[in-house]
Structure 1
Amino acid sequence: MWRDPKKMVPACAVAFLLSGIAPALASDDAPPPLDHGIQVSAPAGSSASVSVSHPAFDGSQARITITEDAVLAEVGERSIALHNTELPVELWRNQHSILLLDINFDGFLDVGVLDSVGYGGVNMYWRFSLADPKAGFAYAGIFSNPERDDVMGWLRSSARSGPIWSSDIYRIEDGEPVFHYSRERHGEYDRIIVPGMEQVAIISAIAPDPWDFEATDDPAFHQTALATVPRAYFHNDPNEESRRDAYLVDGDVGRVLNVTFNRDWLYVTFTHSQSGRTTEGWLRAEDMVFVQG
């Protein structure tokens, strides 16, 4: 089930709450929920502003201001136009909005400006700029209903078309969104589409969330990962030095039994469909993609 973004927060309250924001830390056994960000809006003909921490200088603040026809960011002595607000305000509750959300996981809030609205208000597209110590703010892309996955370090961009919800999974690397895979929800099953691959994984949509730790206690639960490189080598330990000769090939799917704390290694067991031989060990997470949960 997809959840609605957080309700709008008055700009004055948001300014107070965010003036000293710091990166959120998760405990080992209680990953935080998906983060929808904080929305700030200004009715037509008025303005709103909010101050957030910025990486340019220690203690520096960026002030984001919504005017009738633009969204501006002030960083030090610089004024940066994040967006010329061309969206007719009557299309979305007679107001302009920004969404404050750290989409590249650097501990600083980035700024999305409401760019367009589709499907009767279901799909909200936000034009995002990253808080950048050199450029002030740097354009990153447009994302629909963006959500952070604090466990995997992903940004999810989801949209509805007819009865189908689709989600594109990104990581922001060096200021650029890198697309990892897409997931479409078709009632009782989901389709996973990995770029550059002919294989399309079809999985049960009724499986529990892989990060729901109560659900994963159920022996019937399983989460799987699919190899996305020609050879994904097994390792005895989660490090490059312990690499073995055994490997998965592009498209092989194994069961994930464990994940390192920083999510860069997966412990996977794989049974060959023809020989019946089972192999298990650590695989680099960058060579795999989750296809269930």
Structure 2
Amino acid sequence: MHSISRVGIILLGISLLSLNAAAFTTPKGYAKLPVSYSPVPKLKVRVEQQKNAVIAKLPNGKTQLLGEMPDVPEGSQEIDGLLLQDDFNFDGLGDVAVLDGVGYGGVNLFYRLYLWDKAAGTFQEFKETISNPTLTKETKTLSTGQRSGPRWYTTDYRFRNNKPYVYSESAMVGSEGDLYFAKLYNSAGKILKKVVAETQDPSSIDGKTPAAVRKIVVAKAPLYDKPDADSKTRMYLIKGDKPTLLDYRENEDGSEWFLIRFNGKKRVEKWVEWSAFEAEESAPKGTH
């Protein structure tokens, strides 16, 4: 039986593991404190608990507060990853992440990340709390993911001159678990690309990822000028049509809309409600 520290990572990355087991790694986890390790050769750091505080004993003899012990929900399984240790920012130094909280029945594990500063001989706290982290050394990517309701949301960080920036943000969309709407950014925070991608591994999405193509499964799917029911046009697609998904919008009422492109007698770019892709209808097949 898997402990809860692995559940989110397994769910998030199972498809990628089946394709390429070496594509990402999970940081080494420790279930209990104290933990000793070397951020650089010949230097030792000891992370321990003092009352409710997490303390790092540094090589220079000083101590550094790494926050408080997490509030773990009663009844949770033993957490293998109370502390994670790895090179989270790919600078060749050893960093640590301390469990900050547990959510969604143990699927979401949130961490405070502390990056080792070799010059200062101390830790520098990462700007954001991270969740269920994995590392891809080939692209120097720190991936985080968390579940809310039936969906996964991910943020990938990359590093420029050892400084982090958000490389991508993605959200599971639709209801079948294989579509993600992702935004890719450069190091200055400018959006480079938005894409609806067919994948079960959102961290695989990059600038070359093609837009997903989805089959219409209802007899007649109305097209809309805007992502709302009040902008219905006279145009529609029919069962079996395969439009390309260009953009995504979720409204306050929970309805999901996709901007599609379809090349029929002429190229059309309109909005379609998600139900056109997920529910079979018994109505007779229409025409364009």
Range class of TM-score, shorter chain: 0.5 to 0.7
Kindly indicate whether residue 91 of structure 2 is the aligned counterpart of residue 106 of structure 1.
yes
Q: Which residue of 1 aligns with 2:182?
A: 192
TM-aligned CA distance change 1:121 to 1:35, over 3 Å = same
TM-aligned CA distance change 1:65 to 1:119, over 3 Å = same
Equivalent AA in structure 1 for residue 195 of structure 2? A
Determine the C-alpha separation between the residues in 2 that align with 1:209 and 1:159. Answer: 13
Assess if the C-alpha contact under 8 Å between 1:70 and 1:84 holds in 2. Answer: yes
TM-aligned CA distance change 1:130 to 1:170, over 3 Å = same
Q: Which residue of 1 aligns with 2:74?
A: 90
Matches within 5 A, 1:130-141: 130-133=115-118, 134-140=120-126, 141=128
Structure number, greater radius of gyration: 2
TM-aligned CA distance change 1:108 to 1:89, over 3 Å = farther
Kindly indicate whether residue 129 of structure 2 is the aligned counterpart of residue 142 of structure 1.
yes
Q: Deviations over 1:188-241 (max 9, x none)?
A: 322112354496311222799979xxxxxxxxxx98259xxxxxxxxxxxxxxx
Percent same amino acid among aligned pairs?
24
Equivalent in 30, 37, 56 of residue 40 of structure 1: 30
Q: Which residue of 2 aligns with 1:218?
A: none
- Segments of 5+ residues of structure 2 without an aligned counterpart are 8-19, 211-245, 247-288
Assess if the C-alpha contact under 8 Å between 2:179 and 2:199 holds in 1. Answer: yes
Equivalent AA in structure 2 for residue 193 of structure 1? K
Equivalent in 54, 59, 68 of residue 42 of structure 2: 59
Equivalent in 31, 44, 50 of residue 35 of structure 2: 50
- SS, match of residue 128 in structure 1: strand
- SS, match of residue 56 in structure 2: strand
Q: Which residue of 1 aligns with 2:63?
A: 79
Following TM superposition, by how much is the alpha carbon of 1:165 offset from its aligned partner in structure 2, in angstroms?
A: 1.1
Following TM superposition, by how much is the alpha carbon of 1:33 offset from its aligned partner in structure 2, in angstroms?
A: 3.7
Q: Which residue of 1 aligns with 2:280?
A: none
Determine the C-alpha separation between the residues in 1 that align with 2:201 and 2:184. Answer: 20
Given the two structures, how large is their TM-score scaled by the length of structure 2? 0.55
Assess if the C-alpha contact under 8 Å between 2:30 and 2:84 holds in 1. Answer: yes
Structure with more strand by fraction: 1
Q: Which residue of 1 aligns with 2:149?
A: 162
Following TM superposition, by how much is the alpha carbon of 1:174 offset from its aligned partner in structure 2, in angstroms?
A: 5.3
Following TM superposition, by how much is the alpha carbon of 1:184 offset from its aligned partner in structure 2, in angstroms?
A: 2.1
- SS, match of residue 74 in structure 2: helix
- SS, match of residue 100 in structure 2: strand
Assess if the C-alpha contact under 8 Å between 1:210 and 1:223 holds in 2. Answer: no
Q: Which residue of 2 aligns with 1:257?
A: none
Q: Which residue of 2 aligns with 1:25?
A: none
Q: Which residue of 2 aligns with 1:243?
A: none
Assess if the C-alpha contact under 8 Å between 1:5 and 1:37 holds in 2. Answer: no
Determine the C-alpha separation between the residues in 2 that align with 1:179 and 1:161. Answer: 20
Determine the C-alpha separation between the residues in 1 that align with 2:72 and 2:204. Answer: 41
Determine the C-alpha separation between the residues in 2 that align with 1:182 and 1:91. Answer: 32
Kindly indicate whether residue 113 of structure 2 is the aligned counterpart of residue 128 of structure 1.
yes
Q: Which residue of 2 aligns with 1:203?
A: 197
Following TM superposition, by how much is the alpha carbon of 1:177 offset from its aligned partner in structure 2, in angstroms?
A: 2.8
Determine the C-alpha separation between the residues in 2 that align with 1:117 and 1:173. Answer: 30
Point out 4+ residue stretches in structure 1 off by more than 4 angstroms: 3-7, 91-96, 173-176, 206-211
Assess if the C-alpha contact under 8 Å between 2:57 and 2:63 holds in 1. Answer: yes
TM-aligned CA distance change 1:189 to 1:108, over 3 Å = same
Q: CA RMSD for the aligned pairs?
A: 3.6
Following TM superposition, by how much is the alpha carbon of 1:117 offset from its aligned partner in structure 2, in angstroms?
A: 1.1
Determine the C-alpha separation between the residues in 1 that align with 2:181 and 2:109. Answer: 23
Following TM superposition, by how much is the alpha carbon of 1:36 offset from its aligned partner in structure 2, in angstroms?
A: 1.2
